[in-house]
Structure 1
Amino acid sequence: MRQALSGNLDLSKMPYLERNTFKAFQNPKHDWRDGTLKSSFNYLLLDPRITKNLPNRECNMNKLDVFRTFISAIFYIGKGMRDRPYFHLYEAIKHKKSPTKKASGKVQRILDIWSGGEGVVSLHCFQSVIPVEAYTREACMVDAIGLKHLTNKKRGNYYGKSVHYSEQRRRRMGVYLLKKVLHIFIAEGGTTIFTR
């Protein structure tokens, strides 16, 4: 990620690698973990105190600063189905009502955002895919950013061709995917916000 944030990462071959990596998941020929129903997606939870309405500010910023801001705002990356992103908010509400133990880093971040009068931005991407594709995309993005910068507790799982990729190739794929997600965020205006 350091290379990407300095602007020195060549991603020109990534569109081909992405197609090649995820092609096997398009028409699955055998059983994968959690089945082959194309109802999964990825989601990222972002801190609006960091994005500060980035879609409206990005035209006055250079691309590298926009990407840095976006990356620094991400605090959780997940694989979802149906209402999975809401689970984290329910978890935070439950903890707020009855704090029986120390809140996890993710729950504490959500509570901090709420106490500042803001809402959590939940950005959905790579929709209508089978679970193992969503797991693989999640793992790539988590590895690109690194666990120490996220509230995720584990790195994630790889499937298909990506199982044999080097760490460097996985991280590079993750950076490429995160750049694609940034475009979605800018296009949607960063308005998917969950308040308490």
Structure 2
Amino acid sequence: MSLIIATIGTRSEKVVDGRRQQVIPFVGADREGEFAQIGIGFILPDEKKGGIWGTAFPNALIQSWRGMKILEQIDCIGNATLCACWTIAQRTIHVSDERHFNKLAEQVGGADKLQTLRTEILGSAPSADELDAMITNLRLKHVDVSDQELREEVRSGRISTSILIEAIVRETEEHRHARNREKGETGTLSPM
């Protein structure tokens, strides 16, 4: 597996596969190209292996960063831990995803403590330099980043816009206009 690392988190010791190991959390993608899944993962530097969990759409970079920040606070990485961290890094937890919240709450000292942590992390965002570096690292490998998430984060004031963010928004708009023109000319969209 060829992982694409957008940024790394704080190295720490966690229980993985039943034993304590050094872990480096990261935000990244599972492969290069347009079908890449952006998400969160971890590297076991002593074993030179790791894991990643993400989605192909939407490629929510900042949600993944927040999921990584939650992962940094979790002591044990199990089967669904990466998915759980990413899922509860959403603004609203859907009722069907409450099981992820409950699973992680056990590891941090209860639901109240996890909610406090979650609120703090949801109010934070990567620095402008870190965000630009993440976007650059992914774009160098042809991995798309969701313009919708970036627009919402700028609108809410959690991040400031940048040349890279404006380029993503502009490119996405141009792509949409081209697809709409194509649809208007033929009545249907060609396969992507």
Larger radius of gyration: 2
The verdict on a shared fold, with TM-score over 0.5 as the criterion, is no
Specify which structure has the bigger relative contact order, considering alpha-carbon pairs within 8 angstroms and separated by 6 or more residues.
Answer: 1
TM-score by length of 1: 0.33
Which is strand-richer, 1 or 2?
2
